[in-house]
Structure 1
Amino acid sequence: MSRPRPGAGAALLFDMDGLLLDTERPVFEVFVEEARALGLEDAESFGLSMVGLSSSICQRLLRDYLPAEIGLERFRERWDAGVRARLAGGIPLKPGVAEVLERLTGAGWSMVVVTSTRTVTARSHLGEAGLLDHFLDVVGGDAVPANKPDPAPYLIGAERAGAHSRDCLAFEDSDAGVASALAAGCEVHQIPDIRPPDRPVPQRGQAVHRTLTDAVAAAGLLV
């Protein structure tokens, strides 16, 4: 298979939380703390089931998970407050992300973020982390007709990049994101984030790597 080249109709599409930003972990950890404080069972496994999903989908799952006497809004307020406190010192990056994006930008790649996070929040976090200027656009979970694992987010991401999805490389951490990108026809590289050691990565045709640096090198994007 020939490698795509910058300016040859190809583009790079990136998930955000857990791939570029090390934000998935504090969100998960605060959820587990709050759920356990309320005496809820299976907090870790339920928290993991929400990784990579949109806010609207998570809201529906939470309504079924939380007992009737525990209000969803109150729980969300406590959860959100805990996450804000964790991120008060700045938005943390995953290893090697700043250097990789700098090199890809310098090489002329067209890049778009495709995330389940709301667009305004995603732009804010990317800006605070110093990454926003690397991307042509940000496709948030509120800007698509259906969320991951539906292919719509990556189809729209490719369109925003001025490319066909089959000519795009997608970089993801979650299984839902991988399913979305594969269904859109992208070449997919997965860098798993928070995942129990006994939970194998489903093999759907994606390549799996330890870091984004490894993924970009394996894809031959900076040769």
Structure 2
Amino acid sequence: MSLHAVLFDMDGLIFNTEAHFEQAWQHAATLQGRSLDLALYRSTIGMKRAHFEPRIIEQLGPGLDIERYRWDRDAHFHRLRQQGLQYQPGFEALFEALGQRGIKRALVTSSHWPDVEHNFAGSDYLHRFDTHVCGDSVQNGKPAPDCYLLGCEQLAVAPGQTLALEDSNNGMRAAIAAGCRAVMVPDRQTPADDVRRHAHALLPSLADVLAQDLLESGSRE
């Protein structure tokens, strides 16, 4: 089946923001003498914050000042982000190649629109996507397939005619459940067994999407 669209996750795939998020959640815990369970935290990557934050709060233990924790976490994240975000290797070349080949581009992220705008500030990439699906666009976030199904609907393409590019296991599960050809470019996680079984491809970087001709044939090597 021919390839009609590529759907991009954002945090950890386009930008190096997942490292900033992890540092911020750790920093806020440390300020209250707590230790963040990194394995638990990383298992939630790709999910909506509202869906996984209660699990983190519970892990940090009783007596946590939750409002202070949230304030410290968000303030630290914004300090890190103000130092500048970097595009992950291969994004810019891939984005341009898609445009040259007439392949549609969608952004499918669990982040909300203000964060999306902030991350893309100073470039025109955001306005060159054919559609955007954000965390507040659907009720059920990743790993539910809703966001990818909505993205395909807005592009008027069948899921099987798309590549979905993700860095997290939860994002991959969402794309696989939607019927997309799901490609993982790991950032803070290693691929889970179920993701390995169903992934269209596992790649070291976005540059490998072009290097392995996934846009040409849409098939595995």
Equivalent of 1:40 in 34, 38, 44: 34
Q: Counterpart of 1:89 in structure 2: which amino acid? A: Q
Q: CA deviation at 1:31?
A: 1.6
Pairing 1:46-65 to 2, within 5 Å after superposition: 46-65=40-59
**Alpha-carbon spacing, 1:134–1:167, altered in 2? closer, same or farther (3 Å):** same
Residue in 1 that maps onto 2:198: 205
Give the 3 Å change call, closer, same or farther, for CA 34–63 of structure 1 in structure 2. closer
Q: Which moved more, 1:16-25 or 1:125-134?
A: 125-134
Task: For 2:109 and 2:163, locate their aligned partners in 1 and report how far apart those are by CA, in whole Å.
Answer: 15
> Is contact 1:3-1:219 (8 Å) kept?
no
d(CA) in 2 for partners of 1:169, 1:200: 17
Distance 1:200 1:151 in 2: 18
CA change 1:67–1:121 in 2 (3 A) is: same
Moved over 6 A (4+): none
User: How high is the TM-score relative to the length of structure 1?
Assistant: 0.87
- The one of 120, 123, 127 equivalent to 1:126 is 120
The question of 1:18 aligning with 2:12 is answered yes
Decide whether the 8 Å contact of 1:123 with 1:138 is kept in 2.
Answer: no
Q: Report how far residue 111 of structure 1 moved.
A: 0.8
SS state of the match for residue 179, structure 2? coil
1:42 Cα shift? Answer: 4.7
Q: Scaled by the length of structure 2, what TM-score is found?
A: 0.88
Hey, what does 1:7 align to over in structure 2? none
Q: Distance in 2 between matches of 1:30 and 1:145?
A: 26
1:60-209 equivalent positions in 2, closer than 5 A: 60-128=54-122, 130-195=124-189, 201-202=192-193, 203-206=196-199, 207-209=201-203
Hey, what's the Cα distance between the residues in 1 that align with 2:118 and 2:131?
A: 13
Query: In 2, distance between residues paired with 1:172 and 1:158?
Result: 16
Which consecutive unaligned segments of at least 5 residues does structure 2 have?
none
RMSD of equivalent CA atoms: 2.0
> Matches of 1:129 and 1:61 in 2, distance apart?
36
Equivalent residues, number: 214
Q: Is contact 1:36–1:43 with CA below 8 Å preserved after alignment? A: no
Q: Is the Cα–Cα contact under 8 Å of residues 90 and 129 in structure 1 kept in the other structure?
A: no
Identity %: 29
The one-letter code of the counterpart of 2:79 is A
More helix by share: 2
Identify the range of structure 1 (204-213 vs 53-62) with the bigger mean alpha-carbon deviation: 53-62
Provide structure 1 residue ranges, at least 5 long, that are not aligned to the other structure. Answer: 5-9
> Could you tell me how far 1:143 is from its partner in structure 2?
0.8
Q: CA, structure 1 residues 171+219, in 2 after alignment: closer, same or farther (shift >3 Å)?
A: farther
C-alpha separation in 2, matches of 1:145 and 1:21: 24
Who is 2:209 aligned against? 215
Please say if residues 53 and 116 of structure 1, whose CA atoms lie closer than 8 Å, have aligned partners that are also in contact.
Answer: yes
The Cα shift of 1:130 comes to: 4.3
- Rounded to whole Å, the distance in 1 between the matches of 2:146 and 2:14 is 21
Distance, in Å, in 2 between the alignment partners of 1:208 and 1:124 is 29
CA distance in 2, matches of 1:168, 1:50: 25
CA distance in 1, matches of 2:145, 2:15: 22
